[in-house]
Structure 1
Amino acid sequence: MSDRYQENRDTLFVRNLASEVTEETLRSFFEPYGRVTQCSIPKEFNTGRPKSFGFVTFSTEDDAARALEATDRKNFLGKSLLITYAYGNRRKDMRYGSPKYSTRSRSRSRSWSRSRNPIPKNLTLESELKNWCEQVSRLNDELHKKNLSLIKQNEDLSQELRKAKIRKDSLKKELESYKSQTMIFLPCGHQKNVLPREKNLIDDLYELGISKLTPEERMNETLLRQLKSKIFYIMEGKFPNIYKCKQKENFIIGTCGHIAQAECWDIRNIKKNQKKVACTELVDKILPCGHTEKVECSKISELTICKIC
């Protein structure tokens, strides 16, 4: 008898286990015969179901021998157990039944299976491992593409958020500026929003002008309106961006009678200085050759070359 066989007489190899047997139930079955230090039932790799055999290790070899002798010809959950020592000559140590195959028949079965399946097991594992690596690599590429797409979407959203924040701050400043402004009436009859200090400046100048008038002149409303208009025109010349009336209005061009559009203060200067305004209205001009062409109203008297001729 070999030394290995003598050193491993504390572990039993149990076969023909029922499918519902667990490590706890197997341990409880053998604990009455001695202290069980380890109990394990291997599981199948693909399904995870327990196999039909297990290993039970006792604290001493005497407990293992006692369990081996005591469980002879006993059933466990409806099945007869096949118990041997985990290492050594299993055919010699079998206590119930006989092995399904002899040593000679098992060797023949293994040689037959090798002849039928010439592919070594390690090569099969290598091919499976290679397939798994390819799948993992493909999944990593897909995750990388998704991450790049998400990063780009995040950058676009961040840029839009920054633009929205800038727009919000701008609107907030405009609203605060609008709330802080007050309305004044211009001599032309239009209204304009200015800051309180700009309105107070007009009022102070108006009061100063009134203080220079006599009591009879203060009762003259026409004179007061002229005084206020004069103050506005003076301030408009010094501070055009503040006091100029920029309301858009239509006016009739004196030379041709067409209607044009300009700002209120510009129309007033045109009428006051009698400036000639170039009319840009397109009209039909009959050329000497008989053809008609669209030209500006102000250039109708100029010599035009017919593009058709």
Structure 2
Amino acid sequence: MFNLYYLNYTKAFEIAMQIDNKVLEKQIKEKSSEGSADLGASGEAPEINLLSKILPKLNADISIHGSKATRAEDTLKVVSTKSTILNPVIQKSVEVRKLGAEQVGKLLKIRDVSLKIANQQDISGTKILLSGLLKDIPVEGLGQMDFGALLNVFLKDASYIITGKLPEKVNKDKRDGENTTDRLLLKIPMQMEQEMENSYSISDLEIGPVTLIGIYRGIFKYKDIRKKIDIISQMQTEKEPVDIDVEIDEGRDNVDELLAELGPNDSVHYIDVIAIIQELF
């Protein structure tokens, strides 16, 4: 069993259909019962002095056997949920002890991963802008402008950038000269509502270790993969060109706090995440 934090339903459904493209809708359960009865009687005829000399003893043996079988069918309705779609994907995934080039493209399960949201401030500001506060803003010469709708076009691909740390059991056996790291990077598309499952919030991912289900994409430089997947950072860079390799002002609002722990030239494992769960035992 597992508790579901996050699910990319589209990805999970497509993979589940490749595993088995049949969705169970109902089950029929048969119940049968059998009964039998035996009735036996055995008696000895009364002995008569005269006849006993002529006829042998008379014995009577009567046996009655009967059986009855009944069958009943119960139709069970199968309730399809997100968890039932995800379950075959989890069963198909492989838990790994090591991440490297040979695992690229594999469906993986990684247990006991600690996560941290790297761009929490940027996302919070973006949600404020998209909440409708900038709707019907008067602009001289243009009338009422809906800047929220305009921003929605640019920010529709905004995502939470999430980093993680692998447990010690993964990549423990490191060969000399081998490029390995214990850091993960993944993204979750930002939505105004229902980003997470079961009424969880994005901050709940930072509480305790979780299990990741996803497709391994390989090892990248942190600065390179961050530029590709962080739309908000790209917009800020276009507005205020800043080289990620140079020192950043500590007073700037959109400082990436993770840089103190993860340098721009450090390597990270990028996971195309399908689900984040907490396994129940």
User: Under a length normalisation based on structure 1, what TM-score does the superposition of the two structures give?
Assistant: 0.17
Between structures 1 and 2, the one with greater helix share: 1
* Structure ID, larger Rg: 1
> Which fold has the larger relative contact order, with Cα–Cα distance below 8 Å and residues 6 or more apart in sequence?
2
TM-score normalised over the length of structure 2: 0.19
